[in-house]
Amino acid sequence: MNYLGLDKEKTAKTVSELNILLADYHLYYQKLRNFHWNVIGKNFFDLHEKFEELYDEAKLKVDEIAERILTLRYQPTSNMSEYLKDSNLKESPSDISDSKMIEILLEDHGLLLKQMRKVVEIADKSGDEGTIDLIGAYIRELEKTSWMLDAWKMKTSDQHKPVKK
């Protein structure tokens, strides 16, 4: 760990949480593939394309998280049985409505964001700015995606209210 100047014991705690995030992203990625393949109805074209965009982004994050763990000189978890055991996310059925798919993804986003914030908190205690920077960007991106998915499911009567001065 000398080449990074980080404390190995503190870094091990960060890596433990990164491995949970890695498991979360693997399940999230597969869920997006499931939804991409199985979405039907009037929103098919929009959601089929959106789910593909999201799983492409998730696939990149899986690789970046694993590479961050390797950079910290630890081995990333790399088998499905451990991902299923360690992840905060659960698998989803294939035969659900497009609205239910979005609802499930928003629930998963909440769990992903919670885990990301936990990684940032622990990385901060060990002075690991590299991990903080990586995960901080993920938080910003996922919050924006969540807003867009939430807007998709809103009714026009649910419009945002102006802030009163």
pLDDT at 25 over 70: yes
Say what the pTM is: 0.93
Q: What are the pLDDT digits (tens) for 103-144?
A: 999 999 999 999 999 999 999 999 999 999 999 999 999 999
**Length of the chain in terms of residues written:** 165
Q: What are the pLDDT digits (tens) for 87-105?
A: 999 999 999 999 999 999 9
Helix axes 98-125, 44-71, angle to 10 degrees: 20
Helix axes 44-71, 8-38, angle to 10 degrees: 160
Q: Where are the beta strands (DSSP E) in the chain?
A: none
Q: Where residue 157 falls among pLDDT bands split at 50, 70, 90?
A: low
Which residue's entry shows tokens 């294939």? 94
The answer to whether 88 and 111 are in contact (CB under 8 A) is yes
Domains of the chain: 8-153 (1.20.1260.10)
pLDDT at 1 over 60: no
